[in-house]
């Protein structure tokens, strides 16, 4: 069932975060599965971005297209609900051989990326395990963080990818990135409100945990901090520093 996003007031980060919080919290109270909450949040974000483009047209056309995957080599963070939804989609849609190959890619990538900062990940140039022939095998179930990525010129993305040590300017549509970040914050808040751990986790580390032990999902649903080892420490430290400076 498609739900209406309870957006109140002018379009902006605070309004978007509040709307996703209230909408996802309502779904949690109704007993919706984490995957359903994540799918609905992604659909809501599509609507938010479309409305943002209507109110605030991009300065340049967005140049992202299928097969352009430079941003799929960067660190991705997500809420546990998004990771669970993604994992459930993968295990239900892939063949046994495909799932085995994916698990191997996830484990290898986790061994190389666990605990790395965003900058270190960019320097590594390691593709996301979900990337197959420059295409995401779970695009319709990708995290909000991925959905916020955009750029006007793929050539700039290529230059930034090839020279991560340089500060290459990449023209993008800020409203899409801001909307995705606000949506993620709202979903995280709703999870905490429902008694679940809403801390942001790193995509590869969290998937590796689920492949190794699917019972992580049940423990998370019971309110445990089951995804603790995959929580993104870089973001945690940034938030702590920000709070300390207030």
Q: Where are the domains of the chain?
A: 13-244
**pLDDT (0 to 100) of residue 242:** 84
Cα distance between residue 55 and residue 48, in whole Å: 11
- The pLDDT, as a whole number, for residue 8 is 85
- Per-residue pLDDT 10s for the chain (246 aa) are 679 999 988 899 999 999 999 999 999 999 999 999 999 999 999 999 999 999 999 999 999 999 999 999 999 999 999 999 999 999 999 999 999 999 999 999 999 999 999 999 999 999 999 999 999 999 999 999 999 999 999 999 999 999 999 999 999 999 999 999 999 999 999 999 999 999 999 999 999 999 999 999 999 999 999 999 999 999 999 888 888 754
Predicted pLDDT at 245: 59
For the full predicted model, state whether its pTM sits above 0.85.
yes
C-beta neighbour count of 216 within 10 angstroms: 23
Task: Give me the pLDDT at residue 234, please.
Answer: 94
Distances (CA, A) of 82 to 12, 36, 166, 174, 239: 23, 9, 32, 22, 21
Helix axes 80-93, 203-212, angle to 10 degrees: 60
């Amino acid at each position: 069932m498609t739900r209406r996003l309870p957006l109140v007031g002018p379009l902006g980060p605070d309004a978007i975060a509040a709307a996703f919080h209230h909408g996802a919290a309502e779904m949690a109270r109704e007993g919706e599965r984490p995957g359903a909450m994540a799918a609905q949040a992604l659909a809501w974000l599509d609507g938010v971005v479309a409305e943002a483009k209507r109110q605030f047209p991009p300065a340049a056309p967005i140049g992202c297209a299928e097969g352009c995957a430079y941003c799929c080599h960067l660190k991705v963070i997500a809420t546990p609900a998004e990771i669970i939804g993604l994992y459930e989609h993968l295990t239900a849609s892939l063949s046994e051989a495909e799932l085995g190959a994916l698990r191997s890619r996830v484990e290898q990538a986790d061994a190389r990326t666990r605990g790395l900062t965003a900058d270190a990940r960019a320097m590594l140039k390691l593709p996301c395990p979900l990337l197959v022939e420059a295409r995401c095998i779970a695009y319709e179930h990708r995290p909000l963080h991925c959905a916020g990525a955009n750029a006007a010129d793929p050539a700039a993305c290529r230059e930034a990818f090839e020279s991560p040590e340089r500060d290459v300017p990449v023209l993008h549509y800020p409203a899409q990135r801001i909307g995705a970040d606000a949506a993620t914050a709202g979903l995280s808040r709703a999870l905490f409100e429902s008694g679940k751990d809403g801390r942001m986790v790193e995509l590869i580390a969290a998937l590796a945990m689920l492949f190794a032990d699917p019972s992580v999902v049940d423990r998370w649903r019971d309110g445990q901090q089951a995804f603790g080892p995959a929580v993104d420490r870089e973001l945690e430290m940034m938030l702590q520093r920000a709070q300390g400076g207030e």
